[in-house]
Homo-oligomer: A and B are copies of this chain.
Amino acid sequence: MVQFVHPARGDITLEGVLAALADPMRLRIVKVLLGQADCLSCTAAAPCPDMAKSTLSNHFRVLREAGLIRTTKKGVENRNTVREADINARFPGLLKAILKHAGE
């Protein structure tokens, strides 16, 4: 069974992380995911309900390719989590520093 592809820890780049989090929608997605102990489906973590499915899907793809989230399929839906440990290992303090002020 092939899962979605995520970059290895070392391949997470600062540029990629910043570009991914520079979009307010994606920043909100990550914030919501972090506030949740459990995984969340894409729609559950959607920043606004009227966003097109394709746009939402694209945002999650960007987050995955930047290495910010991990996605696995569970039945009909995706289970998304922030790759907090990997990101902190690669860029200590970065995620916390950014999200501390997100959504003010």
Chain A residues packing against B (C-beta within 8 Å): 14-15, 18-19, 21-22, 24, 27, 91, 93-94, 96-98, 100-102, 104
Which B residues are in CB contact (< 8 Å) with A97?
91, 93-94, 96-98
In the assembly, what is the distance between CA of A14 and CA of B99, in Å? 9
- Give the distance to chain B from A61, nearest Cβ to Cβ, in Å: 17
In the assembly, what is the distance between CA of A100 and CA of B17, in Å? 14
Which B residues are in CB contact (< 8 Å) with A27?
14-15, 18
In the assembly, what is the distance between CA of A21 and CA of B100, in Å? 17
CB-based contact B24/A21 at 8 Å = no
In the assembly, what is the distance between CA of A19 and CA of B23, in Å? 7
- A sample of 10 more A-B contacts (CB under 8 A), given A18-B22, A91-B100, is A14-B98, A14-B104, A15-B24, A15-B27, A19-B22, A21-B22, A22-B22, A93-B97, A94-B97, A94-B98
Q: Which residue of B lies closest to A20 (CB)?
A: B22
